[in-house]
C-alpha cells in the first residue's frame, strides 16, 4: 500500500511538473494565408525600387504623390521601394509603420535588389517579417 502511494505521488508530481513547464510555451500558429512554414510571419510583396543610396525623405520629396514608399535599410546601405501589393495586409499594417524596415538576407539577394538596372522594374520579395520590423529576405524575383 505504501509503495502504491509513493508511485502515485511521484506520478502526480511528474504530471504537475510537465504541466507547469508547458504552460509558458508559446508559438505562432496561423490559419489561412499564414499557415505553413514561417506562419503568419511569411510575407510576399511587390513593388519597384525607386532609388538606392537615398533616404525616405529624399524619395518623398521627389514623389510627393506616392504614399507607398518604404525605406529598406541593410548592412551595406539603404534603398527606397514603392510597395504596391502585400500578401498579408493586416500584418503589414500592424508592423510596417512608420515606413522603415531593416532587411537581412544573403548578400546576393541584397545585391540583386539594389542593382541599378533593377530601378523601376517590378520586383517580388518573399521573406519573414518579424515584430521587430526586420524582414529576413528569402527570395528576390524581378518580374519586369
**Do 79 and 72 touch, CB atoms closer than 8 A?**
yes
**Do 143 and 124 touch, CB atoms closer than 8 A?**
yes
Write out the H or E segment, with its range, that includes residue 84.
strand 77-86
In a domain, 118, yes or no: yes
In a domain, 2, yes or no: no
Dihedral over alpha carbons 57, 107, 30, 26 (to 10 degrees): -100
**Do 129 and 117 touch, CB atoms closer than 8 A?**
no
What is the grid cell recorded at 31?
490559419
In a domain, 75, yes or no: yes
> What domain range is 107 assigned to?
32-142
pLDDT in tens, 91-100: 999 998 999 9
CB count within 10 Å of CB 54 equals: 16
What is the grid cell recorded at 126?
518573399
pLDDT band at 40 (very low <50, low <70, confident <90, very high): confident
In a domain, 9, yes or no: no
C-alpha to C-alpha distance for 22 and 20, rounded to whole angstroms: 6
Q: How many domains does the chain have?
A: 1
pLDDT in tens, 113-130: 999 998 999 999 999 999
pLDDT score recorded for residue 3: 73
**How confident is the model over 22-37, as a mean pLDDT?**
44
In a domain, 111, yes or no: yes
Q: Please give the full DSSP string across 103-129, using - where no structure is assigned.
A: EE--HHHHHHHH-GGGTTSEEEEEEEE
Closest by Cα among 125, 121, 65, 62 to 92: 125
Place of cell 504537475: 16
**How confident is the model over 69-73, as a mean pLDDT?**
96
Amino acid at each position: 500500500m505504501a509503495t502504491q502511494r509513493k508511485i502515485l505521488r511521484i506520478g502526480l508530481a511528474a504530471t504537475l511538473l510537465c504541466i507547469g513547464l508547458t504552460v509558458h510555451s508559446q508559438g505562432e500558429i496561423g490559419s489561412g494565408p499564414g499557415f505553413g512554414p514561417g506562419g503568419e510571419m511569411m510575407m510576399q510583396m511587390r513593388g519597384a525600387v525607386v532609388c538606392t543610396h537615398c533616404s525616405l525623405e529624399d524619395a518623398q520629396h521627389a514623389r510627393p504623390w506616392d504614399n507607398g514608399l518604404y525605406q529598406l535599410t541593410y548592412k551595406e546601405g539603404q534603398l527606397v521601394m514603392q510597395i504596391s501589393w502585400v500578401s498579408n495586409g493586416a500584418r503589414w499594417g500592424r508592423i510596417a509603420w512608420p515606413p522603415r524596415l531593416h532587411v537581412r538576407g544573403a548578400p546576393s539577394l541584397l545585391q540583386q535588389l539594389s542593382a541599378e538596372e533593377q530601378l523601376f522594374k517590378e520586383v517580388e520579395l518573399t521573406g519573414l517579417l518579424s515584430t521587430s520590423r526586420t524582414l529576413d529576405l528569402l527570395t528576390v524575383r524581378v518580374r519586369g
